[in-house]
């Protein structure tokens, strides 16, 4: 981007550059092994934005965003079509509308970024603006923080340890900063920019070096701590139950037999905890005394706590409210602990605004009718505290933070990613779960119906994981601390992102006032 702001029509070259950025962004996310592309993915877009007025910049940003989200979230068609029983045309329309909505953020970024051109440390402010918009996307209209830019680096452990200070937003900030600085290095034109660039390079090099050094320090420290911490022997059961038959009443007995069979394989390992996935029991556990009796007997016989998912309901004010629930059965204890999912999937577990827009309920009849659970603390097993996240909840940092602040020693994520089929979504879902462990400094036990089940360390390292659409029994000795010290992120939350939102607003206000003065003169 250059200081000149003369109007120039969008050329085919500009459009192709914007599309290229969108595709490079998608390629940097899993399942591919091209996370390095994130560090250069925005450069084609920046090239296309040179000399563009705000409305042209918006168009190019929107186009880049549209192609990015269209190729990133293509699996929405699979979810809505194959499992939601919606017509392919409606599924495609839903994907297009979602891609257009999310593309608005990149369009807005490009519009506002074009106003920052020519200012000192412009790409610092652009990186702040990017994070600000990610933060808004993560919270606006229930929030959809799926695949924020920082998640591309989930396998680069040294680079992501700063998440225990800044959350995932710190990595997003650094990626955009590097993109901008590389661009300016190749497309600067005047001497004043060259002088400014020296200081910007110094700032970014120091920031990147500090990030990596901090990462290696944290990895080494956690490795030492892990050696002295007590171990929790745990097992994860992945039964690979076919989604098309899972909810048939005639298949319930076979489903339970499958889980018992696989759990018996883990019994010789003497696990203290066995985890089954979300809705492992496709019936109301609270109304199935025969099955619940078998579960308790099994738990007592092998001496392991069972944690599993099952739908539940409560009668309240002459109405029935349904919950997506995780139950915990502890040997020798008659009381069953449970956790109700707090953050539901819109159009999957409930229909937003259906009271005011009843036609939406007709369009998505396959959607559930669940209600959100109240905030609950971790599930307690004697001296062990388990923080449960159900499915989609693993992409929301604030939920894991709440559990960590309430004393959780281990995060347990139960999910049913069978809805995604063999698309890229299960890979993306796992990559985001990694950050919850880094942010909170807590290990995670992840049980999925069809994969990926996994054990994730407090540093984000994946100790073991299953394959997709296969039966699996995973076992691991998980290091836990009796009183794990809270990370800075656990204590202060998204203060870093909030500070960047404030900086962005102040910068835009300053630009606006300067433009008004120029017009006045």
Choosing from 391, 393, 439, 507, which is the catalytic residue? 391
Choosing from 341, 381, 393, 439, which is the catalytic residue? 341
Contact 247, 272 (CB under 8 A): no
Is residue 297 pLDDT above 60, yes or no?
yes
User: Which band of pLDDT confidence, cut at 50, 70 and 90, is reported for residue 270?
Assistant: very high
Most confident of 39-48, 118-127, 247-256, 350-359: 39-48
For the chain, give the mean pLDDT.
Answer: 91
Overall average pLDDT of the 348-360 stretch: 61
Q: What is the pLDDT of residues 416-441, one digit of tens each?
A: 999 899 999 999 999 999 999 999 99
User: Which band of pLDDT confidence, cut at 50, 70 and 90, is reported for residue 5?
Assistant: very low
Lowest mean pLDDT among 171-175, 187-191, 254-258: 187-191
Q: Is 391 part of the annotated catalytic residue set? A: yes
Is residue 215 pLDDT above 60, yes or no?
yes
Q: What is the pLDDT of residues 39-48, one digit of tens each?
A: 999 999 999 9
The domain segmentation of the chain, as residue ranges, is: 12-224+494-520, 229-486
Choosing from 193, 200, 278, 439, which is the catalytic residue? 278
Q: Is 341 part of the annotated catalytic residue set? A: yes
User: Which band of pLDDT confidence, cut at 50, 70 and 90, is reported for residue 365?
Assistant: very low
Overall average pLDDT of the 10-26 stretch: 96
pTM beyond cutoff 0.95: no
**Minimal CA–CA distance to 4: which of 109, 116, 107, 118?**
118
Is residue 359 pLDDT above 50, yes or no?
no
Contact 97, 73 (CB under 8 A): no
Domain 229-486 grouped into CATH 3.60.110.10: yes
Torsions phi, psi of 304, nearest 5? -125, 145
User: How many angstroms separate the CA atoms of 458 and 157, rounded?
Assistant: 11
pLDDT at residue 362, as a whole number: 47
Q: Is 100 part of the annotated catalytic residue set? A: no
User: Which band of pLDDT confidence, cut at 50, 70 and 90, is reported for residue 519?
Assistant: confident
Sheet containing strand 379-381, strands side by side: 379-381, 384-390, 410-415, 444-448, 454-456, 462-465
Most confident of 4-8, 312-316, 365-369: 312-316
User: Which band of pLDDT confidence, cut at 50, 70 and 90, is reported for residue 2?
Assistant: very low
pLDDT above 70 coverage of the chain, percent: 92
User: How many angstroms separate the CA atoms of 140 and 104, rounded?
Assistant: 13
pLDDT at residue 9, as a whole number: 67
């Amino acid at each position: 981007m250059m200081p000149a702001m003369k109007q120039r029509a969008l050329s085919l070259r500009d459009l192709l550059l914007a599309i290229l950025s969108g595709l490079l962004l998608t390629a940097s996310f899993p399942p591919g092994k091209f996370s390095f592309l994130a560090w250069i993915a925005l450069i084609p877009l920046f090239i296309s934005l040179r000399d563009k007025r705000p409305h042209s910049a918006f168009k190019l940003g929107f186009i880049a965003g549209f192609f990015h989200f269209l190729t990133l979230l293509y699996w929405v068609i699979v979810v809505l079509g194959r499992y939601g029983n919606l017509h392919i045309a409606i599924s495609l329309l839903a994907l297009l509308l979602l891609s257009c909505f999310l593309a608005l953020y990149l369009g807005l970024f490009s519009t506002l970024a074009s106003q920052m051109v020519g200012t000192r440390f412009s790409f610092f402010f652009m990186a702040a603006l990017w994070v600000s918009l990610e933060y808004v996307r993560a919270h606006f209209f229930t929030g959809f923080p799926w695949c924020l830019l920082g998640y591309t680096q989930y396998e680069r452990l040294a680079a992501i340890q700063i998440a225990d200070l800044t959350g995932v937003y710190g990595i997003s900030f650094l990626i955009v900063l590097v993109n901008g600085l590389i661009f300016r290095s190749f497309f600067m034109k005047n001497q004043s920019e060259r002088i400014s660039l020296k200081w910007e390079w110094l700032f970014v090099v120091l920031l990147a070096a500090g990030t990596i050094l901090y990462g290696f320090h944290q990895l080494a420290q956690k490795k030492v701590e892990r050696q002295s911490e007590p171990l929790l022997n745990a097992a994860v059961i992945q039964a690979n139950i076919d989604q098309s038959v899972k909810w048939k009443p005639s298949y319930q007995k076979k489903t339970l037999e499958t889980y018992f069979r696989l759990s018996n394989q883990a019994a010789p390992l003497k696990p203290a905890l066995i985890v089954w996935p979300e809705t492992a029991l496709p019936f109301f556990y609270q109304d199935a005394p025969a099955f619940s009796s078998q579960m308790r007997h099994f738990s007592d016989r092998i001496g392991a706590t069972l944690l599993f998912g099952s739908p539940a309901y409560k009668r309240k004010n002459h109405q029935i409210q349904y919950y997506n629930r995780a139950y915990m059965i502890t040997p020798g204890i008659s009381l069953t602990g449970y956790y109700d999912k707090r953050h539901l999937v819109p159009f999957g577990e409930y229909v937003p605004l259906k009271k005011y827009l009843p036609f939406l309920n007709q369009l998505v009849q396959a959607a559930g009718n669940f209600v959100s659970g109240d905030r609950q603390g971790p599930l307690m097993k004697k001296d062990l505290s388990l923080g449960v996240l159900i499915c989609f909840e693993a992409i929301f940092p604030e939920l894991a933070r709440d559990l960590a602040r309430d004393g959780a020693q281990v995060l347990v994520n139960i999910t049913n990613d069978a809805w995604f089929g063999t698309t890229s979504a299960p890979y993306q879902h796992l990559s985001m779960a990694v950050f919850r462990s880094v942010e909170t400094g807590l290990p995670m036990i992840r049980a999925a119906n069809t994969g990926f089940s996994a054990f994730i360390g407090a540093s984000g390292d994946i100790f073991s994981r299953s394959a997709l659409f296969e039966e699996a029994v995973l076992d691991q000795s998980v290091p836990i601390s009796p009183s794990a010290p809270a990370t800075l992120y656990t204590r202060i939350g998204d203060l870093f992102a909030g500070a960047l939102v404030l900086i962005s607003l102040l910068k835009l206000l300053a630009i606006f006032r300067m433009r008004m003065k120029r017009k006045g003169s």
